[in-house]
Structure 1
């Protein structure tokens, strides 16, 4: 199987915060991989823009080092590197002043796609947007890319959207969530809407419940100060898990195009019921050995910020009435894994005796690691001795199914940046979608703050607090095991 790479039109991409961690780890190595794949045209231009004092050659050296560090290839394995670096320029820009803007304007060419990536703190979004407008760079065909967090509550999200809307139209704003760029997430839509096998069963009549898990083994580490003001609910649930929930639960859009897809996602968010307090579990990892607890890492001995959260959610519409969706995410858990498990109901009547046991089909979509899908089916256990049933997986790992071409599948940032250049907003969030997500999230956070809720402690490298297990056990269900 040979993957087909479609080149994009010539472009000028300006990366504000071009010397920052995200640019070095993800954006620039991702662009290099697209260059190697032949998708980035030879006359494309990437301009790093930051406050650091540096010339173009110094910037190219920084990018060269970043690619060697984060792309995973040795220098001798990168024959295209010098060609890519020749596409790079740099300008020192003051995001809140006037310095460097004229130089930036002179670097940009006519008759190319122009995209501006805001790889900076959200507090600078409005300042940069204003200066792009004042310097004649916010033309109707320009595009801006903004990273999360898109606010920390509904009021701040509305203010952020308003500040961007003062200078750019909604169809020029690309709010990036890298989870939507994952190959498996997009395959979820292909499985649902491209196969007659699944879509007729995709409702409460046949599905018992859905579990969405995003587990991390890492601590908050050096992000403790930021994370303590955010927590798992703001950092993960309001955006990443919410997007996965929307894709798994939305109605079929009329077409696979930005407006139709995002309309259906918005309907899901607006149909979410308020979450009852007893359907919420918050946790905080405790100390183990010399590694320290969450409070140690946050440098806040009285912190009540959650590093783990689990929720039981309901969607008020005909498709999902009576089918709960369980969300779970946390730091310092047993394994790094992200998956969606669609658990189907048992057969309404079993023709087999009790020895056959109880069995259910489970469709598992693995986002990381080892991206792929697995469908559990029930068969007869081989051998004599009666009808003994056993569950076996029908497993489709991308690395197995696609062979060597699986290595060519672009990562999330590569795909999404190329979508920006194409002008395709399907996998990006719309402003009203972001605000609707905060409108659902805010009352949950306000509720536990009003109750002076204290997170339950849990052991590092576990599955989270015991109360999260009870969240499922009370319903006669159980979480899928987080396995290393």
Structure 2
């Protein structure tokens, strides 16, 4: 991950929540590790509510420092990291201010990275303003989600940005693709002969992908109420994880080889007939409840949320892939806020043995399963049956455990750190290509449209539970259940 390339990293939205919690801490960790960032590399923060660099450094010390280094801050490394930071005060609504940025970047060697940690409504104006002062050459642009509200608006943004930046300059970020277990999923599948023969419909009964959060909408009520869980999580994170799980082996790990295979999965998703949406998609909204002993309010009473809102905070959907490898295997995707636990995981349930002389437990589907935990602790567990000690042939579930923090002594790289280094070094494999994004929007649009026209309220669920009962009923129709229900 080392680079000798000089760079200038320009951070739009330099005082925003994403910059505070993720981007600047990730850049600090790369700096602290040594050798990952060129010594000449600079970070230029852009904002309009800060007077000058001194005031911005004070802001970074107050708001960013608490989010870095779980094991404490290295004060020497922190001081030298702050030396990398410069500041330009710009009103993003005034294109003429971008001459100030052009002057600040004049004469700098190396690549320019423009990270747009702003609302999507600013993506096109920022790109056009950059082009107006000649800053779109020898540069890369990073676009945060959500990229549009639907296929039409996503295409409009991509068309406008594509007039200014070539596709190979555009980095559409999905931080789940940078997580260590997702990378290890690729290594597990394509680096070992053990799993590949089993990674198909003959041996896999079903696959679950869950991203669950304990938190509510926090201070994002106004944004979230116009977005919802399907747009916020399913269209991007969950479908990207699905494409990684289900993709064919690429001929190499170069960016287009990997993304070509992901695209084939997204294009093979079975279209959902609007008449079947009630059978294969569940939407819910949390009501008041209790999480870890603390009472939490209903979604409709959160700040910024309309009291009569029909926005979903939970989605569970059954997905099918129409190709030879996965035909007939259901993929169950689930995401929600104010659920019972914070967890992101992929569960591969293998089929039961066709005949067993060892008893009924060996014939149970899911007795063999692979659980890839993305958060909070990053692990890969392979479950199988073994004989319990003692008299008789009694079987119990045991697991082989790869816990990265115990097996590898060196610290794991956080997702944003890996992805930011990939941008600086020009590696596109872990970023979403436009055609992938279009295929994902095209698949979710029938659900969006049906929910909008039906105008039915989401199914209620109490905060601190695992969502509406209908999500469990959907799996029960296929003779299975969510992992936590079995445990």
SS of 1:222's equivalent in the other structure is coil
- Per the alignment, residue 389 of structure 2 pairs with 382
- Per the alignment, residue 11 of structure 2 pairs with 15
SS of 2:311's equivalent in the other structure is coil
Q: Distance in 1 between matches of 2:362 and 2:112?
A: 62
- Per the alignment, residue 322 of structure 1 pairs with 328
Of the three residues 99, 123, 133, the one matched with 1:102 is: 99
Structure 2 residue 28 is matched with structure 1 residue 32: yes
Structure 2 residue 383 is matched with structure 1 residue 371: no
Q: Give deviations 1:294-341, integer Å, cap 9, x for gaps.
A: 111153222111111101110000000010000011011100000000
Structure 2 vs 1, CA of residues 377 and 221 (structure 1 numbering), >3 Å: closer, same or farther?
same
- Per the alignment, residue 46 of structure 2 pairs with 49
- Per the alignment, residue 127 of structure 1 pairs with 125
- Per the alignment, residue 300 of structure 1 pairs with 306
Q: Distance in 2 between matches of 1:98 and 1:321?
A: 52
- Per the alignment, residue 397 of structure 1 pairs with 403
Q: Distance in 2 between matches of 1:163 and 1:233?
A: 25
Q: Give deviations 1:81-111, integer Å, cap 9, x for gaps.
A: 1111111111112323234322322222443
Q: Distance in 2 between matches of 1:8 and 1:340?
A: 36
Structure 2 vs 1, CA of residues 201 and 75 (structure 1 numbering), >3 Å: closer, same or farther?
closer
Of the three residues 295, 312, 315, the one matched with 2:318 is: 312
Q: Distance in 2 between matches of 1:480 and 1:74?
A: 32
- Per the alignment, residue 417 of structure 1 pairs with 420
For 1:7-406, what aligned pairs fall within 5 Å after superposition?
7-38=3-34, 39-72=36-69, 77-108=74-105, 109-139=107-137, 141-275=138-272, 276-277=276-277, 278-288=279-289, 291-297=296-302, 299-354=305-360, 358=364, 360-384=367-391, 386-403=392-409, 405=410
Structure 2 vs 1, CA of residues 94 and 299 (structure 1 numbering), >3 Å: closer, same or farther?
closer
Contact 1:29–1:66 (Cα < 8 Å) also in 2 = no
Q: Distance in 2 between matches of 1:295 and 1:131?
A: 38
Deviation at 1:114, TM superposition (A): 1.0
Q: Give deviations 1:366-421, integer Å, cap 9, x for gaps.
A: 0001101000011111122x211111010111111113x2xx22211111010001
Q: Distance in 2 between matches of 1:483 and 1:303?
A: 33
Structure 2 vs 1, CA of residues 355 and 397 (structure 1 numbering), >3 Å: closer, same or farther?
closer
The gaps in structure 1 that reach 5 residues or longer are none
TM-score (norm 1): 0.94
Structure 2 vs 1, CA of residues 280 and 401 (structure 1 numbering), >3 Å: closer, same or farther?
same
Contact 2:300–2:309 (Cα < 8 Å) also in 1 = yes
Q: Give deviations 1:331-374, integer Å, cap 9, x for gaps.
A: 11100000000000001111224476636210000000110100
RMSD over equivalenced CA pairs, Å: 1.8
Q: Distance in 1 between matches of 2:252 and 2:372?
A: 23
Structure 2 vs 1, CA of residues 16 and 353 (structure 1 numbering), >3 Å: closer, same or farther?
closer
Structure 2 vs 1, CA of residues 353 and 414 (structure 1 numbering), >3 Å: closer, same or farther?
closer
Q: Distance in 2 between matches of 1:344 and 1:356?
A: 12
SS of 1:285's equivalent in the other structure is strand
Which has the higher mean CA deviation after the structures are superposed, 17-26 or 62-71?
A: 62-71
Q: Give deviations 1:240-271, integer Å, cap 9, x for gaps.
A: 10110000011111110111111111111111
Structure 2 residue 446 is matched with structure 1 residue 443: yes
Q: Distance in 1 between matches of 2:482 and 2:62?
A: 43
SS of 1:168's equivalent in the other structure is coil
SS of 1:329's equivalent in the other structure is strand
Q: Distance in 2 between matches of 1:164 and 1:439?
A: 20
Q: Distance in 2 between matches of 1:70 and 1:135?
A: 35
Contact 1:356–1:387 (Cα < 8 Å) also in 2 = no
Structure 2 vs 1, CA of residues 248 and 102 (structure 1 numbering), >3 Å: closer, same or farther?
same
Q: Distance in 2 between matches of 1:270 and 1:216?
A: 29
Contact 1:64–1:85 (Cα < 8 Å) also in 2 = no
